[in-house]
Structure 1
Amino acid sequence: METLKIVKIGGNIINDENDLANFLDDFAKLASPKILVHGGGKSATKLAQQMNIEVQIKDGRRITNADTLDIITMVYAGKINKTIVATLQAKNTNAIGLSGADGNSIVSKKRAVTTIDYGFVGDIQKVNIHTLKLLLNQNITPVFCAITHDKNGQLLNTNADTVASELAIAFTNEYTTELYYCFEKNGVLENVNDSDSVIEKIDSKNYQNLLKSNIITDGMLPKLANCFHAVTHQVQKIHIGKYAMLLDKNLKHTTIQK
């Protein structure tokens, strides 16, 4: 089967104009078919502060009330998404910007209230690939922001790592899928204070050992949970590290396989 690459970029790349330009250079050179997924948290926070809208974060997750959802939609689906698409067009990559609502691509359910009410945050229930297949077959690259919908007219803020992993899983019957999480670090680190302490290979066995020894902590915990959810659902391989690994497979980074 042909290989489909799903690439997710973190907020720190988006926030740095030079990093974003360099990343998009590399992404444009990546062979099709491919899909790009992005968030944009810090940009949304900055605009909220400029508009005197309170930013609430609990356990690293954004509380999304109605005002915050408006901000996120403007920033994620608007400015960031369309800037990325326009830049890719300039680099001869025919791209189209999407949210989960477009083409009914990603349907979510509003997260139930337990100890924390996260507001308009969505947990993905279904990925519909019909429209996306049509685009990929025409050599058009989908660029997803981290917004989905509930099929009842409500937009929902959704974790971008999860959007990427669920897209990769949804295409496993159509392609060999590979998932790339690109961010500012060299990979999953054994010592967070040593950028060269990259754990180059993680499988199900040493993943459990890493969890027990508390080497995996903070924001890397949900990211790796997404990774192992994906590889147990037929995603072939996952790469975590700096975006240069897209074109340079010899660059030290972390690979995850079942």
Structure 2
Amino acid sequence: MISSEKEKISIIKIGGKLLDNPLRLKFFLDLLAQWKGKKILVHGGGSEASRFSQQLGIEPQMINGRRITSEKDIQIVTMVYAGWLNKKLVTALQMRNCNALGLSGADGNVILAEKRPVKDIDYGFVGDVKKVRADFLQLLLKQDITPVLNAITHDSKGNLLNTNADTIAAETAIAMSRFFETTLIYCFEKQGVLTDVEDENSVIPEMNKTLYQQMKETGQIHQGMLPKLHTGFDALQRGVHRVFIGNETILQGKNTLFTQLKQ
């Protein structure tokens, strides 16, 4: 009998201060390399890009956890995201016998985006995802290659664009759900969505959209958590099976605190 069940895949996004902590990053990469089944890693790197910008005398601008990207900024984030950080992660995975390939959106035309139109805010060279080439990623996965995607996309007109890495992860998970039973995992320095940012253990085990809206209105959720929750709920509505938010210990799969999003 031929099974109609889809093969499983995990789209794992790493960001926040987790990328900045060598010991925690090492632990995350150890767990990721051992992770069973097919996987795609998506990474941010905003704090690293901000530090580099400040060294060059350019002060980063953020609105609701999203970066305003000027012409100078797009050069900086491309160097940091698609260069240093991407290759650092790929090299670390190779050392752990996990064959990885680093990709920006322009490589293999894997992520096509369009420049965000100016409405209330001009985000500059920021892209909104139009298409993720799930077929291309599937070819890599069939060769036991783990794609490592960064936040740089392109518009097919010769322009590189900065796209929020949470969005990249969600759109990739949505695209891959055509072929796989897809789990989306956001990994950062906290154990999940917190009711009190000062209390590391005040994790909300399950979160629905109503609670999200309530906490957003009261200001309990703001800045970098907003894109995770917005894109996470969107992913659930568009075919992704499960969405989790937590720190690196979520990859251990047991006895850990984390938040699961529910429709």
Band of TM-score, shorter chain: over 0.9
List per-residue Cα deviations over 1:100-132 (Å, max 9, x = no partner). 111111111101112221110001111111211
Shift of 1:257: 2.8
Q: Does 1:167 align with 2:186?
A: no
Matched residue count: 258
Q: CA 1:113–1:49 in 2, change beyond 3 Å: closer, same or farther?
A: same
- Name the amino acid aligned to 2:248: Y
Shift of 1:205: 4.8
Structure 2 length-normalised TM: 0.93
1:43 to 21, 28, 48: 48
Query: Secondary structure of the residue that 1:179 maps to in structure 2?
Result: strand
**Within 1, Cα distance between the matches of 2:109 and 2:37?**
23
**Within 2, Cα distance between the matches of 1:61 and 1:207?**
18
Which sections of structure 2, spanning at least 5 residues, go unmatched? Answer: 1-5
8 A contact 1:236–1:257 mirrored in 2: no
Q: Which residue of 2 aligns with 1:251?
A: 256
8 A contact 2:193–2:204 mirrored in 1: yes
**Within 2, Cα distance between the matches of 1:27 and 1:114?**
39
2:114 to 109, 117, 129: 109
Q: Which residue of 1 aligns with 2:243?
A: 238
8 A contact 1:121–1:158 mirrored in 2: yes
Shift of 1:249: 3.1
Q: Which residue of 1 aligns with 2:183?
A: 178
Query: Secondary structure of the residue that 2:23 maps to in structure 1?
Result: helix
List per-residue Cα deviations over 1:172-200 (Å, max 9, x = no partner). 12000000101111111112221111110
**Within 2, Cα distance between the matches of 1:194 and 1:50?**
33
Shift of 1:211: 4.4
Shift of 1:32: 2.7
Shift of 1:61: 2.5
Query: Secondary structure of the residue that 2:144 maps to in structure 1?
Result: coil
8 A contact 1:32–1:139 mirrored in 2: no
Q: CA 1:254–1:58 in 2, change beyond 3 Å: closer, same or farther?
A: closer
List per-residue Cα deviations over 1:216-244 (Å, max 9, x = no partner). 33432222111110000111111111111
Q: Which residue of 2 aligns with 1:126?
A: 131
**Within 1, Cα distance between the matches of 2:58 and 2:217?**
39
Query: Secondary structure of the residue that 2:233 maps to in structure 1?
Result: helix
Q: Which residue of 1 aligns with 2:234?
A: 229
Q: Percent identity?
A: 50
**Within 1, Cα distance between the matches of 2:71 and 2:56?**
14
Q: CA 1:67–1:205 in 2, change beyond 3 Å: closer, same or farther?
A: closer
Q: Which residue of 1 aligns with 2:94?
A: 89
**Within 2, Cα distance between the matches of 1:63 and 1:214?**
22
Q: CA 1:241–1:109 in 2, change beyond 3 Å: closer, same or farther?
A: same
User: Relative to structure 2, which stretch is displaced further, 99-108 or 48-57?
Assistant: 48-57
Q: Which residue of 1 aligns with 2:221?
A: 216
1:152 to 151, 157, 162: 157
8 A contact 2:64–2:222 mirrored in 1: no
What is the alpha-carbon root mean square deviation over aligned residues?
1.6
Which sections of structure 1, spanning at least 5 residues, go unmatched? Answer: none
Q: CA 1:111–1:180 in 2, change beyond 3 Å: closer, same or farther?
A: same
User: Relative to structure 2, which stretch is displaced further, 41-50 or 230-239?
Assistant: 41-50
Q: Does 1:135 align with 2:153?
A: no
**Within 2, Cα distance between the matches of 1:211 and 1:116?**
20
